[in-house]
Amino acid sequence: MTFVTKPRVHHPKLPVNEIGLTRRDYEGPVSTLCAGCGHDSVSAAIVQACAELSLPPHKFAKISGIGCSSKTPSYFLSKSHGFNSVHGRMPSVATGANLANRELHCIGVSGDGDTASIGLGQFAHIVRRRINMLYVVDNNGTYGLTKGQFSATNDKGSTSKKGLPNLYEPIDVASLALQIGASFVARSFSGDKRQLVPLIKAGLMHKGFAFIDVISPCVAFNNHNGSTKSYDYVRDHSETVTVSDFFLPQEEITVDYDPGTSEEVHMPDGSTLRLHKLDEGFDVHDRVGSLNYVQSRQAEGEVVTGLLYVDPDASDCHEILDTVQRPLNELEEAELCPGNDTLQAINESFR
């Protein structure tokens, strides 16, 4: 395997964002994933979203577990620190990173093996803890790095590349996130940048735990007839419930979206999330309704995509723990150490 550095020469006409940076400033080195891998599209969408939000590219903490998906944080935002940690344990590392410095944007990238199998417990509990982060699952239904075993998100009856059927029920991570209480839940498709980029932007700006399940086909092991996570299958069986369009207060970022009724969600940072409902009856503030809808469409073999649920007034873990506003990693002796006089008083209580 090689480590390829991209040339740092910019096209002189590349557009710059509000802080004078081009999209290239948000990229990373060349990906070593297979050509056509859906995960690279997700990385590209993250690059575009961060550039369009004009966020400083070094103010992120990128955390991942193990697997193809978890390699991707090295392929975007190379000016930020990244941590490719332990299989299934990204949520705990992200929790620690976020507790240490609440000012960094925390992006966790995980896979379906990482999140739905080995890390299902950690996934469930980071949802409960409401860590302020964007949690993206690159969901391809297969173990790519170990060459094509079924993962727990793979549909029952779906076949492997060798033609063998999956015998077990799938875990739907988006439904799980809804059920446990995530304050932002979305699903998208890696090939649908028009839907995915606004969702990532909204998730990054959401205060609290934002979860996006991205169906991301594996071109090497799970993109054949019989797979329910192939490009063709997902295109044929997905139903978009909401198209979200994200605005920062200063300037509208226009996206070509389908017409429909609209609703503005005011985000805690002052920005606005505009939702376009394709289905008149779909309410993104109704957790139970959303869960029912996702499950009932799933029973029909349909993948519901779009923003499924958002609570714009959600709290995050730092609010729950009532921590100071300043990052904990910046506090110094004077703020941390109570000093010897206090210690002598404590001694007295043990006499």
Residues at the site binding another protein, with contacts judged by CB under 8 A: 1, 3, 56-61, 63, 73-74, 78-86, 89, 91-101, 103-104, 121-122, 124-125, 129, 317-318, 321-325, 328-329, 331-333, 335-340, 342-344, 346-347, 350-351
d(CA 143, CA 194): 27
In terms of C-beta density within 10 A (0-12 exposed, 13-18 middle, 19 or more buried), how is residue 250 classed? exposed
**Measured from the CB of residue 292, what is the shortest distance to another protein in angstroms?**
28
**Measured from the CB of residue 44, what is the shortest distance to another protein in angstroms?**
18
**Measured from the CB of residue 300, what is the shortest distance to another protein in angstroms?**
34
d(CA 45, CA 264): 23
d(CA 317, CA 151): 30
Would you say 23 or 59 has its CB closer to another protein? 59
Would you say 37 or 55 has its CB closer to another protein? 55
What tokens does 103 get?
A: 């000012």
β-pair partners for 226: none
Query: For residue 146, what are the CA distances in angstroms to 86, 108, 136, 334?
Result: 16, 22, 21, 50
Would you say 5 or 262 has its CB closer to another protein? 5
Three-class secondary structure of residue 47 per DSSP: helix
**Measured from the CB of residue 238, what is the shortest distance to another protein in angstroms?**
33
**Measured from the CB of residue 91, what is the shortest distance to another protein in angstroms?**
7
Would you say 14 or 324 has its CB closer to another protein? 324
Would you say 162 or 351 has its CB closer to another protein? 351
**Measured from the CB of residue 277, what is the shortest distance to another protein in angstroms?**
36
d(CA 82, CA 139): 20
Q: What region, left, alpha or beta, does residue 289 occupy, with left being phi > 0 and alpha being psi -120 to 50 degrees?
A: alpha
Q: Among 150, 146, 161, 139, which Cα is nearest to 305's?
A: 139
Location of structure tokens 């507790």: 99
Would you say 34 or 278 has its CB closer to another protein? 34
**Measured from the CB of residue 273, what is the shortest distance to another protein in angstroms?**
25
d(CA 180, CA 123): 10
Q: What angle do CA 112, 116, 121 make, to 5 degrees?
A: 140
Would you say 225 or 344 has its CB closer to another protein? 344
